[in-house]
Chains A and B, each alone.
Chain A
Amino acid sequence: MTAVAITGAGVLSAAGRAPAELAAALSGTATPECDPGEPGLGVPGFDTRAELGRKGTSFFDRRTALAVVACRAALEDAGIDLATADRKRVGIVLGTSAGSVKSSVEYAVETFTQDRPHMVNPGLFPTTVMNCAAGQAAIWFGLRGVNATLAGGPLALVSVLRYGANLLSTGQADVLLAGVVDELTPHAAWLARTTGLPASTQPGEGGAVFTLSAARREAAPDAEILGVALGFAPEFGDRPAALGRCVRRALASAATVGADRAGDVTTVSMRSTADERQDRAMWRAVCRAAEEAGARKPESLTTRRHAGDCGAATAALDLAALIGRHRASGDLDGRLTVLAAHSPEGAVGAAVVRGWSRGPDQG
């Protein structure tokens, strides 16, 4: 693949609304507590109408509103003025696990509790489809380029990066708003707790949307995606090795694409699960592959202690935090991070990201 530049990030989480805030939260020691009566760590004070007004938002569910606000923040952060952009060349790629589960389940609930089962709210019907957030964001910003929604679960972010890289390299878009955002609802919290959260992890909310474009030498990106590889291992025991192969492939791509300014892997982001043993095997496989490429004991980066587990969106928050760290310190320039992911069914994937501090010299 060719390198993809990340030029901005829009962030929403319990641990902050900017890459810098997330990065600061990571270095702090405070662990947030849920408010009593709340199902987890929501985005504090997030209210659709307060954020976006009344017009055009009456049929937004929370996930859609969060996604639109994150897109707006990403555009602002990147300094992209849509008034001067060719909106047919600006696309959206959002990841999810199953869309807004609250929206679809509550819609179905109505059909069971009403005397006339079909008397559901027609205006809310689009909230039951997984591409609601991406479609509404396109309407909100008037973006007529490629508009895609990927159901990737734990692999949502790496899938979005992979799919986005393809759109850019095949010339299907010039700029993409790409990321993963998820809502906290009683339904989402139930799903998170039932599928198994690691000890002392709360369900969270939010995510991040990034502005992506084809990397150009003269530009000063926050970060570059230098390689993304995905795979599948049906057999449980084969999965660490399969994930390791993805990391190797992504690093091989990084070595080719980013050979002009090679760096070492210093950080790994991987969402842990309730299965500690499997997590350890996966971690070892990722580290072994990174060490073959010259890394020494990479650090684990996770926003989950501070922002909760945001399901499919957790990895997006990790990437946003990473960007915050790089912006804060030129000492980290050029270092590589592996974003690794695996699903309970056997999907595996990895992306290699190279971060930069922002500045005129970082071209």
Chain B
Amino acid sequence: MTRVLITGLGPVSSIGIGAAAFESGLRAGHCGIRPIGSFDTTGFPRVLGGEVQVFDAGSILSRIEPEEWGRSSQFAAAAARLAARDAGLQWERIDPERVSVVIGTTSGEAKVTEMFAQQLVGGGFEGVDPDIARRLPADRLSSAVSAELDAHGESMTIATACSASNYALGYAYDLIVSGEADVVFSGGADSVCRWAHAGFLRLGAVAERTCSPFDRDRTGMVTAEGGSMLVLEKAELARARGAVPYAEFLGYASNCDATHMVMPNASSIADCISAAHETAGVKTGDVDYVCAHGTGTPANDVTEAQALYEAFGGDVPPVSSIKSMLGHTMGAASGFGAIASALAIARGFLPPTIGWSTPDPEMAWLDPIPNRHRQAPVRVAQNNGFAFGGNNAIVMLGAAS
């Protein structure tokens, strides 16, 4: 069977832009969460967010003009450009028809939606800039990446909310295995916006001072943003060009809770974990690290912990939430999880859960890799992604043999 390697990483995040900076951020346990600056937070009782405040799309992009695209598309395209450089692809030897793009997102161009609303309030539909209509469609995220890379293969945007990157990565893997593509750029992108911040606040899900997943006293998540991109490459071609892979893509699974739009379901997640292990051909004992969905809300973390306990028969490997550093980057989140997992495998360290101080008695057994990264070999990593709509997706990565 065709094997698939991860040969390039492109994170555009609040803790680092580019693979090296992101790895340093993970190792150091940097926190990218700050008071929100991209919209006026007057009147909001909680104001933290994980914005990429230093993002300068123009300094990264080579082909597309940033001003032609919304912020999420810029994140996606910039992340893809960084991933392409990181992979060291020899473009002159690649058939562009065999390069595909699969991008996940929750809210697409959320800032464009926000602007639409603001202008509508100001002057009705007549007062709305017609360019908003052009910029709003979410399929523009994958189009921006395809245009930036001059990739002529399939270009798809998957909108399964906060597990969308894992859905995208799974489909990207299938494109290579089925022989449809040689190289696929896959990951996710989303932007911090006023209305999603408000929505999560009203759900009672937003953290007060810090995001501390798996801590007894955790108060919630914070909305965040960025672009997360991975280069998936047919193993044979990657080996032939002498690429040094980060990891091998072993398999994935997805399912649906079908019980509640916003409350995750432990047994359904446990089913998804077991299915992912089965398709990846790994046993629970092979998994050395779980990159958790770990949003930091009281309910989500305990549900995820229960699901892990059930699926692993009580013997759960170390589990961390990089959302403690990044916040919840929505559709980009499981892409960042996949990047962190690939780095964990390639460099032999476990990313920490920062801001952690007190074990939660409901999951006292859980090792959250508190506050400091840990040197440890990682043979197999499991990357969790869950979402509104009960859309669960789990990706399994392993050491490239």
* Complex interface: chain A residues within 8 A of B109 (CB): 98
Would you call B194 and A151 a contact (CB within 8 A)?
no
* Complex interface: chain A residues within 8 A of B255 (CB): 88, 144-147
Known: A150-B156, A232-B152. A108 touches B137 (CB 8 A): no
Question: How many angstroms from the CA of A166 to the CA of B85 in the assembled complex?
Answer: 30
Would you call A131 and B107 a contact (CB within 8 A)?
no
* Complex interface: chain B residues within 8 A of A144 (CB): 255-258, 268
Would you list which residues of chain B between 151 and 177 have a CB under 8 Å from chain A?
151-161, 167, 171, 174
- Cβ of A230 to closest chain B Cβ, rounded Å: 4
Residue of B nearest to A134 (CB): B389
Q: Is B128 an interface residue (CB 8 A)?
A: yes
Would you call B133 and A346 a contact (CB within 8 A)?
no
Would you call A101 and B136 a contact (CB within 8 A)?
yes
* Complex interface: chain B residues within 8 A of A22 (CB): none
Would you list which residues of chain A between 220 and 255 have a CB under 8 Å from chain B?
230-234, 242, 245
A-B contact count (CB 8 A): 254
* Complex interface: chain A residues within 8 A of B197 (CB): 118
Would you call B158 and A149 a contact (CB within 8 A)?
yes
Would you list which residues of chain A between 69 and 106 have a CB under 8 Å from chain B?
87-88, 91-92, 96-99, 101, 104-106
Question: How many angstroms from the CA of A297 to the CA of B128 in the assembled complex?
Answer: 43
Q: Is B195 an interface residue (CB 8 A)?
A: yes
Question: How many angstroms from the CA of A232 to the CA of B144 in the assembled complex?
Answer: 11
Question: Size class of A's contact patch?
Answer: 35 or more
Cβ 8 A contact of B389, one of A119, A147, A345: A147
Q: Is A186 an interface residue (CB 8 A)?
A: yes
Q: Is B20 an interface residue (CB 8 A)?
A: no
Residue of A nearest to B201 (CB): A118
Number of interface residues of B (CB under 8 A): 79
Question: How many angstroms from the CA of A128 to the CA of B152 in the assembled complex?
Answer: 31
* Complex interface: chain B residues within 8 A of A126 (CB): 261-262, 388-389
Cβ 8 A contact of A232, one of B43, B143, B258, B391: B143
Would you list which residues of chain A between 100 and 148 have a CB under 8 Å from chain B?
101, 104-113, 115-122, 125-126, 128-132, 134-136, 138-139, 141-148
Q: Is B348 an interface residue (CB 8 A)?
A: no
Would you call A231 and B261 a contact (CB within 8 A)?
no
Question: How many angstroms from the CA of A254 to the CA of B99 in the assembled complex?
Answer: 23
* Complex interface: chain A residues within 8 A of B341 (CB): none
* Complex interface: chain A residues within 8 A of B389 (CB): 126, 129, 131-132, 134-136, 138, 147, 149
Would you call A166 and B174 a contact (CB within 8 A)?
yes
Chain B positions 85 through 124: 1 when the CB is less than 8 Å from some CB of chain A, otherwise 0 = 0000000000001000100011111000110111011000
* Complex interface: chain B residues within 8 A of A111 (CB): 117, 194-195, 198
Would you call A195 and B256 a contact (CB within 8 A)?
no
Would you call B157 and A150 a contact (CB within 8 A)?
yes
Question: How many angstroms from the CA of A264 to the CA of B152 in the assembled complex?
Answer: 28
Would you call A120 and B157 a contact (CB within 8 A)?
no
Would you call B138 and A130 a contact (CB within 8 A)?
yes
Q: Is B294 an interface residue (CB 8 A)?
A: no
Question: How many angstroms from the CA of A281 to the CA of B66 in the assembled complex?
Answer: 29
- Cβ of A247 to closest chain B Cβ, rounded Å: 14
* Complex interface: chain A residues within 8 A of B202 (CB): 118-122, 125
Q: Is B374 an interface residue (CB 8 A)?
A: no
* Complex interface: chain A residues within 8 A of B262 (CB): 125-126
Cβ 8 A contact of A109, one of B121, B143, B260, B388: B121
Would you list which residues of chain B between 223 and 259 have a CB under 8 Å from chain A?
254-259
Q: Is B3 an interface residue (CB 8 A)?
A: no
Cβ 8 A contact of A104, one of B113, B134, B142, B201: B113
* Complex interface: chain A residues within 8 A of B143 (CB): 232, 343, 345-347
Would you call A109 and B117 a contact (CB within 8 A)?
yes
Would you call B256 and A143 a contact (CB within 8 A)?
yes
* Complex interface: chain A residues within 8 A of B178 (CB): 1, 166, 169-170
* Complex interface: chain B residues within 8 A of A118 (CB): 43-45, 197-198, 201-202
Question: How many angstroms from the CA of A233 to the CA of B151 in the assembled complex?
Answer: 8
Would you call A190 and B147 a contact (CB within 8 A)?
no
Q: Is A191 an interface residue (CB 8 A)?
A: yes
- Cβ of B232 to closest chain A Cβ, rounded Å: 15
- Cβ of B171 to closest chain A Cβ, rounded Å: 7
Residue of A nearest to B167 (CB): A148
Cβ 8 A contact of A98, one of B138, B156, B387: B138
Q: Is A325 an interface residue (CB 8 A)?
A: no
Residue of B nearest to A152 (CB): B139
* Complex interface: chain B residues within 8 A of A92 (CB): 256
- Cβ of B364 to closest chain A Cβ, rounded Å: 31
Question: How many angstroms from the CA of A314 to the CA of B167 in the assembled complex?
Answer: 25
Question: How many angstroms from the CA of A171 to the CA of B161 in the assembled complex?
Answer: 24
Known: A126-B262, A232-B101. A148 touches B138 (CB 8 A): no
* Complex interface: chain B residues within 8 A of A230 (CB): 153-156
Residue of A nearest to B145 (CB): A232
- Residues on B facing A (Cβ under 8 Å): 42-45, 63, 97, 101, 105-109, 113-114, 116-118, 120-121, 125, 128, 130, 133-134, 136-144, 146-147, 150-161, 167, 171, 174, 178, 193-204, 254-262, 268, 271, 387-391
List, sorted by A's number, 10 A–B pairs whose CB atoms are closer than 8 Å. A96-B138, A98-B109, A104-B107, A107-B198, A138-B256, A162-B156, A163-B156, A230-B155, A231-B152, A232-B153
- Residues on A facing B (Cβ under 8 Å): 1, 59, 87-88, 91-92, 96-99, 101, 104-113, 115-122, 125-126, 128-132, 134-136, 138-139, 141-153, 155, 159, 162-163, 166, 169-170, 172, 186, 190-191, 194-195, 230-234, 242, 245, 343-347, 349
Given contacts A101-B113, A344-B134, 9 further A-B contacts (CB under 8 A): A87-B258, A96-B138, A101-B116, A108-B117, A112-B118, A117-B194, A126-B388, A147-B254, A347-B146
